[in-house]
Amino acid sequence: DDGRVFNFAAGPATLPASVLKQAQEELYNWRGSGMSIMEMSHRGKEFTSIIQNAEASLRSLLKIPDDYAVLFLQGGATTQFASVPLNLCKPEDTADYIVSGSWSDKAFKEGQKYCTAKVVWSGKSNKYTDLPQPGELSLTPGARFLHICANETIHGVEFKDYPSPGGDTLLVADMSSNFCSKPVDVSKFALIYAGAQKNIGPSGVTIVIVRKDLLGNSQKITPVMLDYKIHADNNSLYNTPPCFGIYVCGLVFSDLLEKGGLRAAEQRNIEKAKLLYDAIDASNGFFKCPVKKEVRSLMNVPFTMETPDLEAAFLKEAAAGGMVQLKGHRSVGGIRASIYNAMPKAGVEKLVALMKSFQERHA
Ligand code: PMP
């Protein structure tokens, strides 16, 4: 026992133990360079190899076509809420947003500042427990893009198939909380963005994958740091990038490749999520997951119990057993287990065992 807990946090979140240990081993003197990555020039040959390898591994994992740029940026996914319309739209263009939870709602609200943003579907009246059926969407003809949040981290709803907007409308997805958790057909999207701090690394790195033909049309007011073309032309080295974070992302990408790529990651994630949802569904209502079965997230599993007191008692027992960060987001309450790529199956099994024993003692 090395004192590590099972960390069910929604992000920053648990990382693979092997990656942390490698980063620790290489921290003081990176591969004989005589210095740590934090101390290196971002333009030196060492860091150049680090960022190039990270990009190559990500391209190989997600099978990213050559006509897409991969950018390592800063500012979190929240910055992308502005960058997307600033780069893809004229101020008078319409952009459609599916609002399936708190994060897509934030994206919509920020988008309104830089284009004519329209909500084409909202799950709010159902407390964000559902997603639109394909036929249910009426999109704006001529909309520049359709924005979706592939996985709502707080509400636990995840797209299993993606809408195809049709016409010239571009599909844009916030994949912050399910990035690299399963294979994705990148060619269906004009742009994918994700903050690193759930599945792939530390906070401070934001990944943008964008079709190259869309670059170079940003609005006049676009700050240089938000202009994709500037970053693409400079291989993400226009200014000083988050070097150490990019290095850790690269280690995680290599680790995922070694463990069989994203198809294998998806299989592990399905297995873990099934353990947890089955336990909830078999509890005769002692535990309840509000999300419609077809759209339940493989990454973030929210559930509730009869009373806040019971939930508090459960969280306390979980913490005593080395299972932490299970409290639901402050906006929705309840319990939330985030079970990203790096959460071991043993962690989910331990949580399920506690759920069963807790129910026996309290039902
Ligand atoms: N989108 C989603 C789906 C998220 O989960 C989060 C963070 N929890 C964000 C956007 C915002 O990310 P950041 O904190 O990196 O700005």
For the stretch 85-119, pLDDT in tens is 999 999 999 999 999 999 999 999 999 999 999 99
How far is Cα 256 from Cα 263, in angstroms, rounded to an integer?
Answer: 10
Tokens of 258: 């070694």
Decide if 329 contacts 253 (C-beta within 8 A). Answer: no
Lowest pLDDT segment from 197-206, 324-333, 342-351: 324-333
Query: Across residues 340-355, what is the average pLDDT?
Result: 98
pTM: 0.98
Cβ atoms < 10 Å from Cβ of 5:
14
The predicted-structure confidence for 232-268, as pLDDT tens digits, reads as follows: 999 999 999 999 999 999 999 999 999 999 999 999 9
SS3 274: helix
CATH of domain 261-362: 3.90.1150.10
Mean pLDDT rounded to a whole number for the chain: 97
Query: Treating both helix axes as pointing N-terminal to C-terminal, what angle do 308-320 and 345-362 enclose, rounded to 10 degrees?
Result: 130
The letter for the amino acid at 317 is E
Q: Is the pLDDT of residue 146 over 80?
A: yes
**CB 88 less than 6 A from any atom of ligand 1:** no
The predicted-structure confidence for 297-318, as pLDDT tens digits, reads as follows: 999 999 999 999 999 999 999 9
Most informative mutation of 153, 197, 208, 297 for ligand 1 (most atoms within 8 A of CB)? 153
**CB 149 less than 6 A from any atom of ligand 1:** yes
Q: Is the pLDDT of residue 135 over 90?
A: no
- Kindly give the number of the ligand 1 atom that is closest to the alpha carbon of 76: 15
Residue (of 200, 177, 195) closest to 248 by Cα position: 200
How far is Cα 270 from Cα 86, in angstroms, rounded to an integer?
Answer: 36
**CB 283 less than 6 A from any atom of ligand 1:** no
Give the containing element (helix H, strand E) for 324.
strand 323-324
Torsion from C-alpha of 280, 282, 284, 288, nearest 10 degrees: 20
Tokens of 154: 């707080």
CATH 3.40.640.10-classified regions of the chain: 18-258
Q: Which residues are catalytic?
A: 103, 174, 198
**CB 178 less than 6 A from any atom of ligand 1:** no
Give the containing element (helix H, strand E) for 147.
strand 145-149
CATH 3.90.1150.10-classified regions of the chain: 261-362
Decide yes or no: CATH 3.20.20.100 for domain 18-258: no
Residues contacting 106, CB < 8 A, separation 6+: 78, 81
Tokens of 211: 């079709």
Q: Is the pLDDT of residue 130 over 90?
A: yes
The predicted-structure confidence for 335-345, as pLDDT tens digits, reads as follows: 999 999 999 99
